[in-house]
Structure 1
Amino acid sequence: MYLEIVTPEASLVSGEVESVTVPGVEGEFQMLNNHAAIVSLLNAGTVKFKGNPTIAEAFQKRFIQKDGKWTLEINGGTIECSDNKVIILAD
């Protein structure tokens, strides 16, 4: 599935991933290929994704890679998942 993470500063991530885990307001949840369409608010916490998308060079310091997964701390935001495309608008 395709992941895009956007902040007010810039687009941080874009590309294909295997999974995305986010801090939803009702608790953490994960999306895989062919996930049902969803729109949700996000709490402050950690966004985790597995794959090798393009990470904007100017923002690579914000990401940590461990055991094949990437993590990014956010202060909240929104997420939309539809047709194997996940868009995160993060603060």
Structure 2
Amino acid sequence: MLHLEIITPDKAVFSGEVDTVFVPGTKGAFQVLKNHAPIISTLGKGEVRYRIASKEVAFLVEGGVVEVAQNKVRVLVERILEEA
């Protein structure tokens, strides 16, 4: 499992354990699974999605940053445009 945090300047949108995370990197979208190598990447406009068991949740974001280290994923976004 991964610990995911999705944060905007206004509030913490989500914090919890997930199976996988998909993010819209500025150089291309990518997926984060358990034991992913550490990475910091900028995000472009697109969907941030996470999956818990068979449930998938998606948010349309305008941009931001993602940091992955030691099975923790922190997504900092400027704002969430809508829940997809």
Q: Same fold (TM over 0.5)?
A: yes
Runs of 4+ aligned residues of structure 1 deviating over 3 Å after TM superposition are none
Report the Cα distance in structure 1 between the residues aligned to 2:65 and 2:12, rounded to whole angstroms. Answer: 14
Kindly indicate whether residue 63 of structure 2 is the aligned counterpart of residue 76 of structure 1. Answer: yes
The count of aligned residue pairs is 77
Report the Cα distance in structure 2 between the residues aligned to 1:47 and 1:11, rounded to whole angstroms. Answer: 14
Secondary structure in 1 matching 2:9: coil
Identical pairs, percent: 42
Deviation at 1:68, TM superposition (A): 1.7
TM-score, normalization by structure 2: 0.88
Kindly indicate whether residue 9 of structure 2 is the aligned counterpart of residue 8 of structure 1. Answer: yes
Report the Cα distance in structure 2 between the residues aligned to 1:84 and 1:31, rounded to whole angstroms. Answer: 9
* Ranges in structure 1 where 5+ consecutive residues have no aligned partner: 53-66
Kindly indicate whether residue 72 of structure 2 is the aligned counterpart of residue 89 of structure 1. Answer: no
Greater relative contact order (Cα < 8 A, sep 6+): 1
**Greater helix proportion:** 1
TM-score, normalization by structure 1: 0.82
Q: Which residue of 2 aligns with 1:63?
A: none
Matches within 5 A, 1:30-69: 30-51=31-52, 68-69=55-56
